[in-house]
Structures are given as structure tokens and as C-alpha cells.
Amino acid sequence: MKKVLRRSWVEISLSQVVENCQVYQAHSSTENIMAVVKADAYGHGAVEVSKILESIGVCNFAVSNIDEAIELRNAGIKGEVLILGYTPIEEVENLIRYDIVQTLLSSEYATQLINYGSKIKCQYAIDTGMNRIGLNADDVHMCEREIRRASKYLVLMGMYTHLCVADSDLQECNIFTEEQIQKFENVVTAVKDLDLPYIHCLNSAGGLWHRADAGEFSRVGIALYGLKPDYLNILPEGIKPAMEWKSVISMIKTVYAGETIGYGRTYLVEKDMRIATVSTGYADGYDRRLSNKGYVLINGKKAPIVGRICMDQFMIDVSEIECNIYDEVILLGNSGALSITADDMAHTIGTIGYEVVCSISKRVQRKYIY
Ligand SMILES: *Cc1c(COP(=O)(O)O)cnc(C)c1O
């Protein structure tokens, strides 16, 4: 039976993902992109996004863990799949079985993989200032020694670093980013003779606003989905959010002055008003911090959230809006001349667009538009 999308659902435009990818490529300082589809493609659906990108010639994908990697293989993705994070040693046989590339997080981890026996495909992480994973690029000799060891005992495909302030245009951040790229290039130069095919250091922001001699790839995540690395960024014309989040009004009623709305009675009704109940809540990933703060769009108008977001529902003020029970409500997306992006929503509650889209839960149905 076909599922009816009438409670809470997202509509994902795969043609917009393609458009975002192509506009990105046209504006990026690198030739190739590695599509970052971790966390279910930031909530957009890793299989669908990877398939559409593979169909336009993208052959490299990055995920966060082995389960995400296997999901892509089971869906028939043929390109290289790189795991950016930790794979427990008990799971390592799956790297070989599914032909997955593993990041070497540390020299200890490299030793574990070397001791595993069979040769595993991998890329070394180089730490140039993020202090998350990788070999410390300040010690070029140590990096060189480690990379040579890995290339001898493993199938070392390359190395990469990660930039941590490439999305800021503050001068001190630009300087830090340039230093990170320089540190990475020093390591790359020390092992030039190994001719490693995968050398990369740019994320979405890096590829748009920086350049690196080392490497012809950008690892692009957020820009594929049409969101900004940082709220202050201006993306190239044509990169737009690929996802809209919709719900419906399940009930409309009048409440009277002196009453309160929702848990904790945090909203006091000052004069008689018309409120509508929306059938989405924090268990769908609609952030509770939007309580008494956020708004939704109905028929081209803004409807403010009143009271606390509940687990499965929330209430909005529709006193000034012409609307009916079962009308569509836009949580993210466009309505008339107005729009709410995940970046706007994130800004309201002090987080980033990444978190907003990643948090949309499994029970929110995904609908794909081509
Ligand atoms: C998540 C991630 C990316 C993608 O970053 P965006 O800002 O979404 O482009 C790139 N590289 C690494 C190592 C990551 O963890």
C-alpha cells in the first residue's frame, strides 16, 4: 500500500542536489568532488543522494562508519567509499568484504590494521590544527615515517586533513586556514615519491573560499544540500536547499484571554486568539528550543509557535491567517514570497543548519522529487 504523507514529511529534490553539485563544481578551486553522505546524507537519504550523484559522474563518497558504508554497497553504489571515522577492529573484515576505504586515525590504529593480516584499503588522516584525529602535521618526520610504514603494509590510497575555520572570513581564520593547508602540503611533499592518488584537504567552505596546491578533491557535504557552512556565508547563486519539511494542521480552535497554551503553561493568552495544532513534534526532530520562538508558514504567511513543542505536536497562532483544518504547514521551505531555511531555524536556536537537517528523525517520511 502506498504511504499517505499527511502527518509530517520531507520532500527532497534530487534535481536540486544535482544542481548544487554542478554549481559547486563550477565555483570550486578543485576539479573533483568527494560527496560527503554521512548521517544519511545529512538527513536527505544517503542511498538516493549517492545514486543520483553517481549517475552524473561522482565516483567518490564519504561516510562516517561501516554501517553507512555497507548501506551504500548494498544499494549498488560502485564508487570508492571512504569511512571518515572509527571502525572497531571487530568490524574490519567488512572493510575487505565490501571494498571500503578506512581512515587511519592514529599510528596505534594503523598498527592494529597492519596486524590484522589482510591488506586493507586506507587513507591517513593528518591533523593540521583541528585536534580531532590524525597524525600531527607539526612533526613532518614522524608523519613521513608513519605514511611510509602504512604504504608498505596496507593499501594506502592517500591522505587528507580537515579544516576547522574555512567558513569564516575573519582575517585570523583565513590565516589559520592557510597555515593548515601549508602544514598539510609539507607532509604531502615529504612523501611525494609514493604518488598517492587521494590527496585532499578542502570541505565545502574550503573548496569555495580557499585553494590548495595539494589535491584535486573537495570533500563536499553541506553545500550539496544547499545549506551554508556558516550563517554569515553567501553561497554561489544557484545553490539552494534541497529539502522542504511539511506537516498539517490537525485542529483549529479559539482560546480566550487568561488561558494558557501547552506544557508548563509558558504561553499566556492575552486576548482571544485562534490557534492551530501542527502534527509534528520533537520526536520528529523539530527542535524543542523553538518553543515560543520559531514560526511556520501557512498560505504565504508567518504563524508564530505558541507554547512548548510537544513530542508529537505543537501549537501556532493563526489569528491573522486564513487557514483551515488539514491545511499544509511549511516547517522548512517556501510559501508565497516567504521562506524558512534550516540555516534560519538553526540561527533562531543557536545551532547550525547541519544539526537541524541531521536531526529530522526516521519517522518523518522522505519523499523524493526528481
Ligand atoms: C563532515 C566532513 C566533511 C564535510 O564537511 P561540509 O562542511 O559538510 O562540507 C568533510 N571532511 C570531513 C573529514 C568531515 O568530517
| Ligand 1 mutation pick, 24, 36, 167, max ligand atoms within 8 A of CB | 36
Q: Is the pLDDT of residue 172 over 70?
A: yes
173 by Cβ neighbours in 10 Å (0-12 / 13-18 / 19+) ranks as middle
Q: What percent of the chain has pLDDT over 90?
A: 95
Q: Whose CA is nearest to atom 4 of ligand 1?
A: 221
DSSP string for residues in 251-311:
EEEEE-TT-EESGGG-EE--S-EEEEEES--GGGT--GGGTTT-EEEETTEEEEEES---S
List pLDDT tens digits, range 87-128: 999 999 999 999 999 999 999 999 999 999 888 999 999 999
Residues with CB under 6 A from ligand 1: 36, 38, 84, 162, 203-204, 219-222, 229
* Number of C-beta neighbours around residue 231 at 10 A: 14
Whole-number Cα distances in Å, 357 to 63, 149, 234, 284, 343: 16, 40, 19, 11, 9
In the reported structure, the alpha carbon of residue 9 is separated from the centroid of ligand 1 by a whole-number distance in angstroms of 26
- Report d(CA 93, CA 116) in Å as an integer: 9
Residue-wise pLDDT for 202-228, tens only, equals: 999 999 999 998 878 999 999 999 999
Residue 229 confidence class, pLDDT cut points 50, 70, 90:
very high
Please tell me the distance between residue 25's alpha carbon and the centre of ligand 1 in angstroms. 16
Report the C-alpha gap between 168 and 160 in whole angstroms. 21
Atom of ligand 1 at shortest range from CA of 220:
9
Mean pLDDT of 43-55: 98
The number of the ligand 1 atom at minimal distance from the alpha carbon of 354 is: 8
- CA–CA gap between residue 70 and residue 352 (Å, rounded): 28
CA of 282 to the centre of ligand 1 (A): 26
Active site residues: 38, 263
Contact 68, 87 (CB under 8 A): no
Residue 317: strand, helix, or coil: strand
